[in-house]
Amino acid sequence: MIKNWWLPLLVGVLFILVGAWTISTPVKSYMSLAIIFASFMFVSGIFQLIFSINNRNEIDDWGWHFAGAMFDFVVGAVLFFNPAVTMVVLHLSMPFILCSKALPPSVLHST
């Protein structure tokens, strides 16, 4: 049985809440969005690390989950400590990151 199955669900719900807040306050939210985006990437990376490490014996290709978690963790930390960089790359990186989160792993890793 998959352990900590609720962690990816929690991350998804948090992303939906942040999206709804951003749509409701577009002008005031860009700077806040940059900081929140970086924070969520960082926290998402932590949750995904916990998930991938706890399920390494139960998930095929768990290394892909671990690598994605490390990517989110490192990029989130870099963006959090450099908000100006986050504001510049936010509109460029957001579509790719959200699409990669939305697609199921079976589509991303199909052979």
**Residues 10-52 pLDDT 10s:** 989 998 998 888 789 876 778 887 888 888 889 989 999 999 9
Which of the 8 DSSP states describes residue 60? Answer: T
Residue 103 to residues 12, 87, 106: CA-CA distances in angstroms? 12, 25, 8
63 within a domain of the structure (yes/no): yes
Q: How many domains does the chain have?
A: 1
Q: Residue 4 in contact with residue 50, Cβ under 8 Å?
A: yes
111 within a domain of the structure (yes/no): no
pLDDT, mean of residues 59-75: 88
**Closest among 100, 98, 96, 5 to 47, alpha carbons compared:** 5
The range of the structural domain enclosing residue 23 comes to: 6-103
Please tell me the predicted confidence (pLDDT) of residue 16.
92
109 within a domain of the structure (yes/no): no
Local structure of 61: helix, strand or coil = coil
**Residues 86-97 pLDDT 10s:** 888 877 777 777
Q: Rounded to 5 degrees, what are φ and ψ at 104?
A: -70, 150
